[in-house]
Amino acid sequence: MSAGFEEAERELDGLRFSALAVDVDTGETLFEHAPDLVLDTASVGKVFLLHRLLTEVDAGTRSLEERVTRRPSEWMDNSGLWYLLQADTLSLYDVAALIGAVSDNAATNTLCRVVGLPTVQEHTRSLGYVDSALDDVVRWPLPPGAPRTLSHATAAELVRFVRRTATAADLSPASADTLQRWLGAGMDLSMVASAFGLDPLAHYLFDRDIWLWNKTGTISTVRADTGLVMSPDRRIAYAVLANWPRGTDARDRVLAVMRTAGDALRNVLAEPRPDGGAL
């Protein structure tokens, strides 16, 4: 599998991948390529914001029923749905669901204000993620002095995050389920997940013996996809991240490589577990 990443990097000057896929239950590495390389991950870092929110819910200091009002400064179009909705006030649950389902930028900015971006960053470090973080709220255009990336990460740390979410290692079982449900509504199946042939609007719970939740990140120089893909008896945590220089037309080549990575995972899921066990 690594050869596909390496070949693409040779073909396109400046293209870089960080990729890893691991069986959640056996620890088997299914593919890897520069898993510790730090790359720009666009919206992927929003998962740390959602995780911090649920940590506060578990601690009893926050309720998902709390209602918040979007401020004019937090309005952002493009990614999301809230900018099209009439309602300015939503529950925290609904704000988080918008982030999970459509990577909503306005919802991200509002939730960052409520929870606090420094709090999210400290929380991420406290969990042991030293090369991954949500760097800023969503801004456009970027003002002088603002971070140049919305988030950054390595494939290795994102796979660790996915595995620990799948096993409720850092959240209560109820909150871990909630986070996976939000991300299971994600509508972007254009990258690794394109290989699974799922309905982009309804793929939580099994469809064609595959169950998926994921988070993606997309800007003009980034494609990133991380998540959990499952069969009835196997769970795989994966992350495939790609960055390339401005002015380089790499998108189609990158998406083809990510699809190939997804094909490899789908083939693994079609095989019986090596230990003959079941979830």
Closest-CA residue to 179 (of 122, 238, 101)? 101
Read off the pLDDT of residues 74-85 as tens digits, 9 standing for 90 and up: 998 888 999 999
Q: What percent of the chain has pLDDT over 70?
A: 96
**What predicted TM-score, i.e. pTM, was given to this entire model?**
0.96
CB 214 within 8 A of CB 183: yes
Read off the pLDDT of residues 28-61 as tens digits, 9 standing for 90 and up: 999 999 999 999 999 999 999 999 999 999 999 9
Print burial letters for 78-91: b (CB count within 10 Å at least 16), e (below 16): ebbebeeeeeeebe
Residue 277, pLDDT above cutoff 60: no
Pairing of strands 211-219, 67-69: unpaired
Peptide bond into 141 cis (omega under 30): yes
Given this model, what pLDDT does residue 140 score?
87
Give dist(CA 95, CA 3) in Å, integer.
Answer: 40
CB 180 within 8 A of CB 50: no
Given this model, what pLDDT does residue 1 score?
56
Domains and CATH numbers, the chain: 2-269 (3.40.710.10)
